[in-house]
Amino acid sequence: MSRKIKVGILGLGRAGRNMQTPEIAFYPDKFEIVAAADHAADRRENLPDALRNAKLYASCEELVADPDVELVAIALRHQDHTPWAIRALEAGKFVSIDKPLAVNYQQILELKAVADRHPGRLFPRQNRRFEAPFQKALQLLETGVLGKLSLFKLYRSCGYCRRNDWMTMTEFAGGLLTNWGPHIIDQALRYLDAPVIDVWADLRSVISIGDGDDQMKILLRAANGRVADIEISGTQTMPGRELEIRGERGTLVYDPSLDPGHIVMRYVDPVHKFNRLEPHRENPPLAYGNFDETLTFIDQKVEIPEIPSAVIWSHIYDSIVNGIPFPIKLEESMEVVRITDLVFEKSGFRPTDKFAAQA
């Protein structure tokens, strides 16, 4: 029988109660939730079954001091992630820290300094690194059928949402860039597979009640020439393609609004060798197309295997118990925070812009 890691959850809001609790409970032979903390009394009531035996605390301090807790899962407000990760690490705990890992790059440098003193104990919760479509797309790119890759379009819609909770307020580091941004930027960096050398960004607060951004467009250019085109919106009433990848020989598309179970690709037959063509000054034929060679295209529809949304916790367990290196490096998450800082800087976004325009 495998040993169970005893977990304490900091924060019993949506992330702690509705996301991390069921994920941890997915592995009952590996984890046991022994404690949870939230300063709001109503968040400590009507809890799911996975928390029925947990000790409930009204303060984070009490949970971090609990000797029964081995692993602290941080699901607090954004600005509290880094400070409580540092306190838990210094208390000798393993720590799973939710995104954003830090609200600015200086803060994550402070976190790294502490993590370096406690190696192997900090686990960045970049859980969408394990999304099934993302993982399958990476596998398909490794086949090389698309040829040299040039453009990665990543899109997420959060619907049309006039939110007015703390996550829309910049005083709490709210907005879509700090909420969804870390997930999609992390995926983009994996696709780019080279250092980012240029950033362009536009952030806006369009319909959000708070002053945080709810619509973004980000362009990242990497040293290898690849470009990531990122759009995340809380102002969208129509679905869109979540992923489009273009290479010199074809295209990969994932559109969950049309087919959530498959990725489709269309590319020039890999056995075809392009003709050696030269540009010329004559007028083209009246019919548009490939004028001086005939291309055969292959259409491929690939099933996306299911991956449990909780799989990141299996990796955490294997790292703690079996000594298997955790697949998400802290340095990778630090780069996500660095890019986020650059996006804020390059966009020139100011929370008061929307309200000034209305005055």
Provide the residue-wise pLDDT of the chain in tens; the chain has 359 residues. 579 999 999 999 999 999 999 999 999 999 999 999 999 999 999 999 999 999 999 999 999 999 999 999 999 999 999 999 999 999 999 999 999 999 999 999 999 999 999 999 999 999 999 999 999 999 999 999 999 999 999 999 999 989 899 999 998 999 999 999 999 999 999 999 999 999 999 999 999 999 999 999 999 999 999 999 999 999 999 988 999 999 999 999 999 999 999 999 999 999 988 888 888 888 877 777 666 678 899 999 999 999 999 999 999 999 999 999 999 999 999 999 999 999 999 999 865 544 344 43
d(CA 193, CA 95): 27
Crossing angle, helix 81-90 and helix 105-117, to 10 degrees? Answer: 10
Strands (E), the chain: 5-10, 31-37, 55-57, 71-74, 94-98, 122-125, 149-157, 196-204, 215-222, 227-233, 243-247, 250-254, 262-268, 297-303
d(CA 175, CA 204): 10
Q: Both 121 and 151 in a single domain?
A: no
Counting beta carbons within 10 angstroms of the beta carbon of residue 122, is it exposed (0 to 12), middle (13 to 18) or buried (19 or more)?
A: buried
Q: Both 172 and 51 in a single domain?
A: no
Q: Are 233 and 157 in contact (CB under 8 A)?
A: yes
Q: Both 228 and 112 in a single domain?
A: no
Based on its alpha-carbon atoms, the radius of gyration of the chain, rounded to whole angstroms, reads 23
Q: Identify the pLDDT of residue 291.
A: 61
Q: Identify the pLDDT of residue 276.
A: 86
Q: Both 204 and 241 in a single domain?
A: yes
d(CA 237, CA 137): 26
Q: Both 162 and 295 in a single domain?
A: yes
Q: Are 172 and 166 in contact (CB under 8 A)?
A: yes
Length of the chain: 359
Query: Amino acid identity, residue 247?
Result: G
Q: Both 39 and 80 in a single domain?
A: yes
d(CA 196, CA 234): 26
Q: Identify the pLDDT of residue 297.
A: 95
For 113, the domain range is 5-125
The answer to whether residue 169 is domain-embedded is yes
Q: Both 95 and 166 in a single domain?
A: no
Q: Identify the pLDDT of residue 293.
A: 77
Task: Examine residue 305 and say whether the peptide bond preceding it is cis (omega within 30 degrees of 0).
Answer: no
Token digits of residue 15: 């992330």
d(CA 40, CA 77): 13
d(CA 189, CA 316): 22
Q: Identify the pLDDT of residue 283.
A: 81
d(CA 274, CA 269): 10
Q: Both 115 and 144 in a single domain?
A: no
Q: Identify the pLDDT of residue 357.
A: 40
d(CA 70, CA 92): 8
Q: Both 143 and 15 in a single domain?
A: no
Q: Both 201 and 345 in a single domain?
A: yes
At which of 91, 125, 159 does a domain end? Answer: 125
Q: Chain centroid to CA 351: how far?
A: 23
Number of compact structural domains in the chain: 2
At which of 61, 90, 125 does a domain end? Answer: 125
Token digits of residue 37: 């903390």
0.85 cut: is pTM over it?
A: yes
The answer to whether residue 65 is domain-embedded is yes
Token digits of residue 131: 């999304």
DSSP state at residue 45? S
At which of 82, 98, 125 does a domain end? Answer: 125
Q: Are 10 and 97 in contact (CB under 8 A)?
A: no
Q: Identify the pLDDT of residue 356.
A: 41
d(CA 255, CA 266): 14
Q: Both 217 and 259 in a single domain?
A: yes
Number of neighbouring beta carbons within 10 Å of residue 280: 9
The residue behind tokens 């992390």 is 186
d(CA 11, CA 252): 39
Q: Are 226 and 150 in contact (CB under 8 A)?
A: yes
